[in-house]
Chain A
Amino acid sequence: MTQQGVRWTAEQVLALAPDAASRKAGSKLGAAGPWSETGSSDEGTVWGLCKGSGSKPYQTVIDIADASGPAYKCSCPSRKFPCKHALGLLLLWSGDDGAVPPGQAPDWAEQWIAGRRQRAAEKRTPDTAGSPPAAADPEAARRRAERRAERITAGATELEQRLADLLRGGLAAAEQAGYGLWEETAARMIDAQAPGLAARVRELEAIPASGPGWPVRLLEECALLHLLDQGWLHRDRLPESLAATVRSRVGLPASADGPPVRDRWLVLAQYDTADTRLTTRRIWLYGADSDRTALLLSYGAAGRAPELALPVGLTLEAEVSAFPGAGQVRAALGDQFAPPAPTPIRPPGMTTTQAAVHYGEALRADPWLDSVPVTLDRVIPTPDGNSWQLADADEDAALPLTPAARSRPGLWRLVALSGGAPVKVFGECGHQGFTPLTAWPQGADTAVPLC
C-alpha cells in the first residue's frame, strides 16, 4: 500500500456488480491467472490486460478517483456495466498482494483517462458559469409549469372524489373490488403528471392482502393520501418549506439547490430496491463535521445497477447539496475532493427511546415520513417469538424489526456479529419498526453492511 493510500475491500468492489452473475464472474477473474501488464497510478487509475476467449486480450481500465464513483472502460463486448473484467481487476487490486504494482499507465489507458479528465473539465466550466441551458425561455417554462400544476390539481381533485366514494361504500368493499380499482386510479394519476400520487395509490392495492390488521393500515394510508391531496390543493396556504415537501411528495421534480456542504462524509449504507421498471439505489451518508445524515438516490433501468456506487465504511471529502423541502434528507453529491478513505468516524448513537422520539419529531416537518435514519448505540438483537427486536443494553426498551428486515440474510449477520453483546447499528426507524443497514461490533474497527 504505497500509493493512493486506500484500497477497497472485496465487498466494496463486489457491491458495484450489476447482478449476481457478474459478481460471480468477477470474483473468478479476481485472481492473477488471466491478467497481465496490470498496474495502478497515484491518480487512482487501475489498468490491465485480461485474457479472454479470443486471441487478443481485453483492455480494462478503471478510474477510481472520479467524483461520481468509479468509471470503467473495457474492450470486451459485454453490455453489463461494470463488466466482469473491471470487477475482476478491482478485486485483484483490492487483494493487495502485489498483483497490481504501481506504475506508469500504458498509452491506451492514458488516452482514455486524459479524454475523461478533459471532458469533465469542459463540463464543469459552463456549470460554474451558472446558467442552466433550459432557461432559454423563462416565460415558456413558467407556462409549462402552470399547465402541469393545473393537471395535478385536476388529478388530486379526482383522487379526493375516489377516496370519498371508497369511504362512503366502506373499506370492506374495497377488499372485494381488488386490483382493477387502484390500477386504474394510478394510471389516471400518471396522466395527471403526479407520479408521487400514482405510487401511493399503487401501494394501497397490496394492503387488503397484507394480513391481519389491514383495515387499519388501509385507513392510515388513505388518510395520508388525502392529507397529501389537501396539502397540494391548499399549498398556497402552507409555509414554503412544507409546500416544497408536498411538491416533492406529489412527484414534481426538484433540483438540489441547497448550498453545497463540504464535509467528511461517511458512507453509512448502500442498498438497492427494484420493481419491474426501475432499480433504485439508496446511499446514506453521515457528515462528520455538520452532524447531518443525507440520502443519495440514484436510478438504473430494470435489472441494471445504478451508476453511483460508494464503498460502505469509508469517508469521502466531498460537497453535498440538499434538495428542498421541510424534513427532507435527500441530497445530491457534488464535487469530490479525495478518493474514499478509511476512517475512525462513527455516527453518534442514541437509545431506542430517543430513536422513537426522533421519528415522532421528524413527522412534524413531514407527516408522510415512513422512517428516519437512526444510529442506535449499544443494542442487542433479541429473538421475540417469531420476530426479532433490538433491545437496548442499558434501558428497558426495544425496537422491533420491520417485517421485511426479519427475512433478510443481513439479520443473521447482525445476530452473528453481536453474539448477544451490544453493537452499534445504523438503520431506518419508522412506524413499522427498525430496518438495520450497517453495524459496528464493539471493539472492531470495520463497518459491516447488513443489506
Chain B
Amino acid sequence: MNRTATAVEPPAPGALAGHGHAGAAAWEDLVTTALLGTDRRTPPPSLSAPGREAPMALLDAAAAETVRRRAGLRPARPAPRPEPAAEDPRPPLPAAAARRLALLLADHPGASGGGRRGAAPDLMELLPQWLALANAHHYAAPPEALPALLDAARGRTDLRPAALTFAGPRALWLARLNPDWRFALRATPGGGTALPHLQDTEKVQGLWQEGLFAERVSLLAALRAQDATTARELLASTWTTERAEDRLMFLDSLRTNLTAEDEPFLEQALADRSRNVRATAAELLSALPGSALAARMAVRAGACVALDHTRDTPTITVEAPHECDASMERDGVVAKAPAGRGERSWWFGQLVEAAPLATWQARLGGRTPQEIVALPVTDDWQADLHAAWCRAAVRQRNADWSRALLGTPSAPEAGGPGAVSLAERAKLLDTLGADERAEWVAGFIATHGLSEAFQLLGVCAVPWSAPLGRAVVDALNIARDAGSYPWSFSGVMGLAERCLAPSEANRLDGLLAIPEEPENASPGAGGYWAEAFQRLVTTLRLRAAMAEELNP
C-alpha cells in the first residue's frame, strides 16, 4: 500500500467494524481508478450511484474514505527507545548565565555579512572565555543549548575542548545520534564509549591489538597521561610490527610525561628504519638533559666552542664540525643542509641545540647564563650560537637561559630584527612564569610600541596583569595621538577586548570621547578611535557581567 509514505500507520485490519480488509481493498481500488482515469477504468459497481457521473461518484467515495482513514489513525509501533543519557552531576547554570550563553551562541559569525563592527562587542569571540569560566565553576550545560554549542564547536576546532567539557555526558549521547557531531566522539579520548577502563589490562590490550589507528592513538595518549610506564611498555610490545607513519605518531605521544625512564626505549628508536622516527626520538632524548644522547651531544658541541683568554676581553671562538659522521646522524643530526645554508654551521646549530645548557656553564668558566650571553663571539658566529641556545632553552624549558637570551625588554636591539626573532622570543617567554612574562612584554611595549607586540601578547596569561594592561592602553593612546587609524592595531585591539582585565574599564572612560583632530592626523581617525575604545569598554563591561553571572 502506498500509504507507507504518510507517517502515521493506517488502521490495522479489522480495527474498524465492517471495514477491515474490505476497506483497505476498496481504497486501493479507488486510487487505481483515479490514477488511470474513469474513462479508462470502470469504477467499481458500488460507486455507480444513480444519476451521478463516474468521476463525481469516485470523489464522493474518496472523500468519505479519506476522512474515515484519517479518523481511524492509530499510533505507530515504537522503535527501540534510546538508552538514557548519563546523569550530569554538576549544578545547573544560574538563570542569567544561561541567558547569556544563549545570546553568545546566537551571534553567528557572518550572520550580518561581516563588515565593520562598530562599537558593539564581538560576542562569538567571548565564547571561549565564557566556557573557561563556566568550566572553572563546574556548571552543567543547559540541555537545550547543546545543539547550538555543538554546532559552534563543529565550526571552530579551537573551541572544542572547552565546549565538550562544558557540554558534558549528554553531548556525547547526542553526538552518537547526529552524524554532524561525530567530532565530539573523536575529540573525546576513545570516542566516549570506545575507551576501556584503563585498569582493565585485558580490554586495553584487546583495543591496542585490534583497534583502529585513531582509537589506538587516543588510547595511548590517555594511558600515557595516567601511567607513563605502562603506556611505554604497551607501545614497546608491538613497536616492531607498526608501520613507520604510525610509529611516528605513537612516539610523539611519549612527549607527555617524558622521564629518564623512557631513555632506553628512545635510544633503541634511534636505530629506527624511518628517518622521521629517528629525528623525533633524538629530539625527545635531547630534552632529557641526563640522557646519554645529551651527554654525547654535549661532548660534540663542547668541542666546537672554546674561550679565548688571550684577548683583552674573554671571547668565545667557534670551530664548527668538519664532517657529519654516522654516529652524529644516528643521534638525529640531519646531514644535508637546507639550500643556502653552510653545511658546517648547519651541523653546529644542531649540536648546540641538542646539548644540555648546563654544559656551557661548566665549559665557559662557571659563568652565569647572563654573562655567557654577553660574551663576544668571533667571526660572526654569534647569530648561529645564540639562535641555537634559544632553541635549546625552549626545548629544555630552561627559564634562566631564556631570561638571559631575552635580555632586557627596553634594550634597543630587542625591538629590531636581532639574533632572536619575535617568534623565538615568544617561545622563550613561554618558559618564564606568568608574572615575569607579563612584565617583560609590558617593558617591551613601553619602549617599542605595539607594532611588534601582537605575537608576544599572545603568550601572556589572561586576564593581563595590571602593568601589562596599562602598557597596552597607554600605547594605544599614543598610537591614537600619533594620528594613525585604529584598524592598523585591530589585532591588538581584539586581543585587548578579550584579555584586558575587566576592572580596567573605568580607566578607559577618558578615551571614549572624540578628540580634537590634530593637524597631521588621518581624517576621521578620532571618531573611529572613539568607536574602537567604546567597543573595548563595552566588551570589558560585558565580560565583567559574564563573570558575575557565573559567580552568583
Distance (whole angstroms) from the CB of A52 to the closest CB of chain B: 9
- Alpha-carbon separation in the docked complex, A362 to B549 (Å): 48
Contact B60 A226 (CB under 8 A): yes
Q: Tell whether A20 is near chain B: CB-to-CB under 8 Å.
A: yes
**Interface of chain B, helix or strand or loop or mixed?**
helix
Whether A215 touches B119, Cβ cut-off 8 Å, given contacts A397-B75, A398-B79, A419-B143, is no
Contacts of B38-97 to chain A: CB distance below 8 A: 38-40, 53-56, 58-60, 62-63, 65-67, 70-85, 96
Q: Tell whether B237 is near chain A: CB-to-CB under 8 Å.
A: no
Contacts of A289 in B (CB 8 A): none
Contacts of A332-370 to chain B: CB distance below 8 A: 352-353, 355-356, 359-361, 363-364, 367
Contact B121 A397 (CB under 8 A): no
Contact A215 B78 (CB under 8 A): no
Interface range, A side: 35 or more
Distance (whole angstroms) from the CB of A279 to the closest CB of chain B: 19
Contact A223 B66 (CB under 8 A): yes
**Which of B37, B62, B75, B173 gathers most chain A CB within 10 Å?**
B75
Contact A28 B6 (CB under 8 A): no
Contact A412 B147 (CB under 8 A): yes
Contacts of A385-426 to chain B: CB distance below 8 A: 385, 387, 389, 391-392, 396-403, 409, 412-413, 415-417, 419-421
Q: Find the B residue at minimum CB distance from A27.
A: B103
Q: Tell whether A306 is near chain B: CB-to-CB under 8 Å.
A: no
Contact B82 A380 (CB under 8 A): yes
Whether A168 touches B67, Cβ cut-off 8 Å, given contacts A27-B106, A223-B62, A389-B78, is no
Segment among A73-81, A169-177, A237-245 that sits at the interface with chain B: A169-177
Q: Tell whether B35 is near chain A: CB-to-CB under 8 Å.
A: yes
Whether A431 touches B144, Cβ cut-off 8 Å, given contacts A24-B111, A27-B123, A95-B99, is no
Q: Tell whether B541 is near chain A: CB-to-CB under 8 Å.
A: yes
Q: Find the A residue at minimum CB distance from B527.
A: A53
Contact A224 B147 (CB under 8 A): no
Contact A219 B74 (CB under 8 A): no
- Alpha-carbon separation in the docked complex, A213 to B54 (Å): 24
Contacts of A169 in B (CB 8 A): 37, 39
Contacts of A91 in B (CB 8 A): 103
Q: Tell whether A68 is near chain B: CB-to-CB under 8 Å.
A: no
Contact B5 A34 (CB under 8 A): no
Contact A213 B35 (CB under 8 A): no
Contacts of A208-248 to chain B: CB distance below 8 A: 211-220, 222-224, 226-227, 230
Contacts of B541 in A (CB 8 A): 31-33
Contact A31 B7 (CB under 8 A): no
Q: Tell whether A30 is near chain B: CB-to-CB under 8 Å.
A: yes
Contact A398 B6 (CB under 8 A): no
Distance (whole angstroms) from the CB of A238 to the closest CB of chain B: 15
Whether A224 touches B120, Cβ cut-off 8 Å, given contacts A164-B56, A412-B147, is no
B76 CB contact (under 8 Å) in A160, A168, A398: A398
Contacts of A94 in B (CB 8 A): 99
Q: Tell whether A62 is near chain B: CB-to-CB under 8 Å.
A: no
Q: Find the B residue at minimum CB distance from A35.
A: B538
Contact A227 B63 (CB under 8 A): yes
**Which of A165, A226, A353, A402 gathers most chain B CB within 10 Å?**
A226
- Alpha-carbon separation in the docked complex, A334 to B120 (Å): 39
Q: Find the A residue at minimum CB distance from B177.
A: A383
Contacts of A389 in B (CB 8 A): 76, 78-79
Contact B66 A224 (CB under 8 A): yes
Contacts of B73 in A (CB 8 A): 356, 359-360, 431
Contacts of B119 in A (CB 8 A): 33-34, 51
Q: Tell whether A288 is near chain B: CB-to-CB under 8 Å.
A: no
Contacts of B40 in A (CB 8 A): 170
User: 1/0 contact trace for A1-41 toward B, CB 8 Å?
Assistant: 00000000111001000001101110111111110000000
Query: Once A and B bind, how many residue pairs between them come within 8 Å at the CB atom?
Result: 253
Q: Tell whether B178 is near chain A: CB-to-CB under 8 Å.
A: yes
Q: Tell whether A298 is near chain B: CB-to-CB under 8 Å.
A: no
Contact B70 A213 (CB under 8 A): no
Q: Find the B residue at minimum CB distance from A409.
A: B147
Contact B56 A382 (CB under 8 A): no
Contacts of A28 in B (CB 8 A): 107, 120-121, 123
Contact A433 B7 (CB under 8 A): yes
Contact A34 B7 (CB under 8 A): no
Q: Tell whether A384 is near chain B: CB-to-CB under 8 Å.
A: yes
Q: Tell whether A184 is near chain B: CB-to-CB under 8 Å.
A: no
- Alpha-carbon separation in the docked complex, A166 to B53 (Å): 13
Whether A219 touches B75, Cβ cut-off 8 Å, given contacts A168-B38, A402-B7, A412-B147, is no
Distance (whole angstroms) from the CB of A136 to the closest CB of chain B: 42
Contacts of B74 in A (CB 8 A): 353, 356, 397
Q: Tell whether B367 is near chain A: CB-to-CB under 8 Å.
A: no
Contact A21 B63 (CB under 8 A): no
Q: Tell whether A432 is near chain B: CB-to-CB under 8 Å.
A: yes
- Alpha-carbon separation in the docked complex, A416 to B143 (Å): 5
Distance (whole angstroms) from the CB of A353 to the closest CB of chain B: 5
Q: Tell whether A448 is near chain B: CB-to-CB under 8 Å.
A: yes
Contacts of B30 in A (CB 8 A): 219
Q: Tell whether A203 is near chain B: CB-to-CB under 8 Å.
A: no
Contacts of A220 in B (CB 8 A): 62, 66
Contacts of B143 in A (CB 8 A): 416-417, 419, 441
B7 CB contact (under 8 Å) in A25, A382, A432: A432
Whether A217 touches B6, Cβ cut-off 8 Å, given contacts A167-B59, A222-B62, A417-B144, is yes
- Alpha-carbon separation in the docked complex, A389 to B8 (Å): 10
- Alpha-carbon separation in the docked complex, A363 to B68 (Å): 9
- Alpha-carbon separation in the docked complex, A14 to B105 (Å): 13
Contact B62 A399 (CB under 8 A): no
Q: Find the A residue at minimum CB distance from B171.
A: A416
Q: Tell whether B373 is near chain A: CB-to-CB under 8 Å.
A: no
Contact B108 A416 (CB under 8 A): no
**Which of B7, B38, B54, B118 gathers most chain A CB within 10 Å?**
B7
Q: Find the B residue at minimum CB distance from A55.
A: B514
Contacts of A419 in B (CB 8 A): 84-85, 143, 170, 173
**Which of A30, A172, A219 gathers most chain B CB within 10 Å?**
A219
Distance (whole angstroms) from the CB of A233 to the closest CB of chain B: 12
Q: Tell whether B534 is near chain A: CB-to-CB under 8 Å.
A: yes
Contact B35 A215 (CB under 8 A): yes
Q: Find the B residue at minimum CB distance from A173.
A: B37
Q: Tell whether A97 is near chain B: CB-to-CB under 8 Å.
A: yes
Q: Tell whether A96 is near chain B: CB-to-CB under 8 Å.
A: yes
Contacts of B501 in A (CB 8 A): none
- Alpha-carbon separation in the docked complex, A24 to B106 (Å): 8
Distance (whole angstroms) from the CB of B189 to the closest CB of chain A: 22
Q: Tell whether A163 is near chain B: CB-to-CB under 8 Å.
A: yes
- Alpha-carbon separation in the docked complex, A216 to B3 (Å): 7
- Alpha-carbon separation in the docked complex, A230 to B64 (Å): 12
Q: Find the A residue at minimum CB distance from B542.
A: A31
Distance (whole angstroms) from the CB of B182 to the closest CB of chain A: 14
Q: Tell whether B268 is near chain A: CB-to-CB under 8 Å.
A: no
- Alpha-carbon separation in the docked complex, A33 to B117 (Å): 14
Q: Tell whether B2 is near chain A: CB-to-CB under 8 Å.
A: yes
Contact A171 B82 (CB under 8 A): no
Contacts of A413 in B (CB 8 A): 144, 147
Contact A367 B8 (CB under 8 A): no
A416 CB contact (under 8 Å) in B36, B78, B103, B144: B144
- Alpha-carbon separation in the docked complex, A448 to B118 (Å): 33
Whether A360 touches B72, Cβ cut-off 8 Å, given contacts A169-B37, A220-B66, is yes
Extra contacts, 6 of them, besides A216-B31, A383-B79 (Cβ < 8 A), are A34-B119, A167-B37, A212-B4, A216-B5, A222-B62, A224-B63
Q: List 13 A-B contacts (CB under 8 A).
A: A20-B111, A24-B106, A33-B538, A95-B96, A95-B100, A168-B55, A170-B34, A212-B4, A230-B60, A360-B73, A364-B71, A398-B76, A419-B170
Q: Which residues of B come within 8 Å of A, CB atoms?
A: 2-8, 30-31, 34-40, 53-56, 58-60, 62-63, 65-67, 70-85, 96, 99-100, 102-103, 106-108, 111-112, 118-121, 123, 143-144, 146-147, 170, 173-174, 177-178, 534-535, 537-538, 541-542, 545, 548-549
- In the A-B complex, list the 6 residue pairs whose CB atoms are closest, starting with the nearest: A170-B37, A213-B5, A33-B538, A28-B120, A420-B84, A433-B7
